[in-house]
Structure 1
Amino acid sequence: MAHDPTRRMLITALAGLTLANVPLASAATGTPNVQGNSPILVAYFSRSGNTRVIAGVVHRSLKTDLFEIEPATPYPKDYFQTVEQAKNERSRGTKPTLKNRVADIERYETVYLGFPIWGTSVPPVVQTFLSNHNLAGKLLIPFITHGGYGKGDSEDILANLAPAARREKPLVLECDQERRTTETVTSWLDTIRS
């Protein structure tokens, strides 16, 4: 991959940010804990933290409300078990139940939707979010992280599950540390075991 100084600056800036003090969805009500009445919502799903960092930057920069998309039953902590579970969900066409919902989604004019690409597609839990929330008439602005496979079929999925939303061109950012780290460690272990 060619050296891209702008990309490196962005990743470096994002790496220093966290969401530790950002209010998320209330487990009891599923509605965002709002410090104001922003017409903008950032909804995101993140497994390894890359998408969470971007969500935090958007949230703080635009003073939005924030909602973390979570399955009722968490995905496994192990990367490969998660990959396998997501693959099974896709092949069976099952969508996991959400832990919470945005109860007042109708009040938002704009929804920034963040997610990683899993198996060249939108994670099943994000598809559940889209199926369970009416985004008709809203401006949908995706931000997508991936491990080298690009945005996959995400635009088709978004068009199918939020057909009446207006969509902006997504931010698509390669953030493949988890996959690359796993492959590097596995290769290293293979040399030791040989």
Structure 2
Amino acid sequence: MNVEGSKCLIAYFSRAGYNYVGGQIVNLPVGNTEVVAKMIRELNGGDLFHIEPVKKYPADYTETTDVAKEELRTSARPKLAGHVETVAAYDVVFLGYPNWWGTMPMPVFSFLEECDPAGKTIAPFCTHEGSGLGHSIADIKKTCPQSTVLDGLAIRGGTVKNAHDNVAGWLREIGMTAKK
């Protein structure tokens, strides 16, 4: 697929603040997934949309993981603070998220169910600290059965600042032509 002439949405969930990176808790001014989302925009263009829940996650990393685990256990669908006017205007949805408990954070599920990307191409990317994509690709396919889901990109959170070449290589691998 060549994205030239295609309208791309780069929708991502990212959590700044205290995160687990390289075996320790560090305070990130910008979440790792947001860093990758902005690389994709730099390479391909597209509109950025930050998936944010109305109810913010706790500042404490361990508290956030506890909340995320409970949301996963109950299949929660947190209400979102913002909304994409119409996904119909886009051909490709780049979908970014950190791997939380083997899949996407529950606000990403809320986003997918709300925006209904049927007929769209979804290009997933995630950040992680050792768990890769987990079962998130299968979850996207299950949630969006009428979408084409491309091979995903998994980037270790501690390496995102140096991931430009990895992101560019992934875009080529999935047939996305970077903007000139």
Which residue in 2 is equivalent to 1:39? 7
Of 93, 99, 121, which aligns to 2:81? 99
TM-score by length of 1: 0.69
1:76-119 deviations in Å (ceiling 9; x for gaps): 11111110001111112211110111012111000100000001
Residues 1:147 and 2:115 aligned together: no
Which residue in 1 is equivalent to 2:169? none
Q: Distance in 2 between matches of 1:167 and 1:71?
A: 24
Residues 1:74 and 2:56 aligned together: yes
Deviation at 1:127, TM superposition (A): 0.7
Q: Distance in 1 between matches of 2:52 and 2:63?
A: 17
TM-score by length of 2: 0.75
Deviates more, 1:163-172 or 1:37-46: 37-46
Is the Cα contact below 8 Å between 1:95 and 1:124 reproduced in 2? yes
1:141-183 deviations in Å (ceiling 9; x for gaps): 0011111112111011101111111111011111158xxxxxx
Residues 1:62 and 2:30 aligned together: no
Report how many residues are paired.
141
Is the Cα contact below 8 Å between 2:120 and 2:148 reproduced in 1? yes
Q: Distance in 2 between matches of 1:104 and 1:89?
A: 27
Q: Distance in 2 between matches of 1:61 and 1:153?
A: 27
Work out which of the two has the higher radius of gyration on C-alpha atoms and give 1 or 2. Answer: 1
Percent identity (aligned)? 37
Q: Distance in 2 between matches of 1:161 and 1:144?
A: 17
> For 1:80-91, what aligned pairs fall within 5 Å after superposition?
80-91=62-73
- Compared with structure 1, are the counterparts of its residues 38 and 64 closer, same or farther at alpha carbon in structure 2 (3 Å cutoff)? farther
Larger RCO of the pair (alpha carbons < 8 Å, separation 6+): 2
1:32-89 deviations in Å (ceiling 9; x for gaps): xxxxx97111000011411000000111221211100000111111111110001111
Higher strand share: 2
Gap runs ≥5 in structure 1: 1-36, 178-194
CA RMSD of aligned residues (A): 1.5
Is the Cα contact below 8 Å between 1:38 and 1:63 reproduced in 2? no
**Structure 1 runs of 4+ off > 3 angstroms?**
none
> For 1:2-41, what aligned pairs fall within 5 Å after superposition?
39-41=7-9
SS at match of 2:64: helix
